[in-house]
């Protein structure tokens, strides 16, 4: 068994004539929590979609469990996805199903388990995220943090080998953020899975990640353990980690000369 469950080799991906990634290399060892960080629009979520086979790379490859994802046919990709779980940014719960039915959904769709066993498994998963008591609620009755926890229970419903998190901390209050943070680490360790977190929340991500990749301008700008990156003197990493307003990532969107633009407006 290879030590890396996911490998991204020399990957390039373009969309509508714009090259989003070029020559990206990443490895995700089994049992670890690995984070992909970078500014908004840097293509972090796209990397998750490439790993899940929802997008096809322009160049290079993504290997999951030794298999090249984009070379798989539909059945092959679905087989790979059965070993993955994904937490979407806003949970993506099915709004016409209750909390219980949302968590039961992958079990009912992908397995032949009897309903009594599904019931027990769903309650166990919900108990793990602290929402067993909310199993009869509908998604519209949940707070953002609760919805994210239900989605997490659904993502781990079939005990996946790889769990992907797309901005798991975005828009949460500090308590919910702490809960999600602890859950990601504890579920990863309890299931012996590999977690891939896409986030721009430095504090929470550094708390639970074993290894971090920084993506900027379509490339891996830096990588290392959270401790290494906190000490990094690379200008981009320093600006990002310490939340500085200006730096390699400019405060201003590229524009023409301010003074001449104002004068032009006056004369026009």
Partner 1 sequence: MIKSNLFVGIMQLLGGMGHRMIARVWRLGAGARLFFLTITYSGESFRRFHLTLREIYFTGVMSLLIIVVSAFFVGMVLALQGYNTLQKYGSSEAIGVLVALSLVRELGPVVTALLFAGRAGTAITAEIGLMKTTEQLSAMEMMAVNPIARVVAPRFWAGVISMPILAALFSMVGVLGGYLVAVPLIGVDDGAFWSQMQANVDVRVDIINGVIKSVVFGVACTMIALFEGFDAPPTAEGVSHATTRTVVISSLTVLGLDFVLTSFMLVV
54 binds partner 1 (CB under 8 A): yes
15 binds partner 1 (CB under 8 A): no
Exposure string of 190-206, with b = 16+ CB inside 10 Å and e = fewer, is ebebbbbbbbbbbebbb
Distance CA 194, CA 2 (A): 13
78 binds partner 1 (CB under 8 A): yes
Q: Identify which range of 5-13, 81-89, 192-200, 224-232 contacts partner 1 by CB under 8 A.
A: 81-89
Q: Identify which range of 74-82, 118-126, 183-191, 217-225 contacts partner 1 by CB under 8 A.
A: 74-82
Query: Angle at Cα 196 formed by Cα 88 and Cα 9, nearest 5°?
Result: 115
110 binds partner 1 (CB under 8 A): yes
Distance CA 100, CA 115 (A): 12
Tokens of 85: 């779980």
- Per CB under 8 A, the list member of 93, 150, 197, 202 interacting with partner 1 is 93
67 binds partner 1 (CB under 8 A): no
- Per CB under 8 A, the list member of 24, 62, 69, 86 interacting with partner 1 is 86
109 binds partner 1 (CB under 8 A): yes
Spatial CB neighbours of 23, under 8 Å, sequence gap ≥ 6: 10, 11, 12, 60, 219
Q: Identify which range of 18-26, 33-41, 72-80, 114-122 contacts partner 1 by CB under 8 A.
A: 72-80
Helix (H) or strand (E) holding 222: strand 219-224
Q: What is the contact surface with partner 1 in residues (CB under 8 A)?
A: 52, 54, 77-79, 81-82, 84, 86, 88-90, 92-95, 105-106, 109-110
């Amino acid at each position: 068994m290879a030590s890396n469950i996911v490998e991204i080799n020399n990957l390039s991906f373009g969309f509508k004539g714009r090259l989003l990634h070029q020559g990206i290399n990443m490895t995700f060892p089994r049992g670890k929590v690995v984070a992909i960080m970078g500014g908004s629009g840097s293509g972090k979520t796209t990397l998750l979609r490439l790993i899940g086979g929802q997008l096809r790379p322009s160049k290079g490859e993504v290997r999951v469990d030794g298999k090249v994802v984009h070379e798989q046919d539909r059945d092959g990709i679905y087989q790979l996805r059965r070993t993955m779980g994904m937490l979407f940014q806003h949970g993506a719960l099915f709004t016409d199903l209750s909390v219980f039915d949302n968590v039961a959904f992958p079990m009912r769709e992908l397995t032949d388990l009897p309903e009594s066993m599904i019931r027990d498994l769903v309650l166990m998963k919900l108990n793990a995220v602290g929402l067993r008591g909310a199993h009869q609620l509908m998604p519209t009755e949940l707070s953002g943090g609760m919805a994210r926890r239900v989605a997490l229970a659904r993502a781990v419903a079939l005990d996946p080998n790889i769990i992907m998190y797309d901005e798991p901390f975005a828009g949460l209050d500090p308590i919910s953020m702490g809960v999600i943070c602890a859950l990601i680490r504890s579920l990863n360790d309890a299931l012996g899975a590999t977690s891939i977190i896409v986030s721009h929340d430095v504090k929470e991500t550094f708390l639970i990640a074993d290894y971090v990749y920084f993506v900027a301008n379509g490339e891996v700008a830096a990588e290392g353990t959270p401790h290494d990156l906190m000490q990094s003197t690379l200008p981009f990493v320093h600006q990002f980690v310490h939340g500085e307003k200006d730096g390699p990532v400019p405060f201003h969107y590229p524009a023409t000369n301010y003074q001449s633009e104002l004068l032009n407006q006056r004369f026009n």
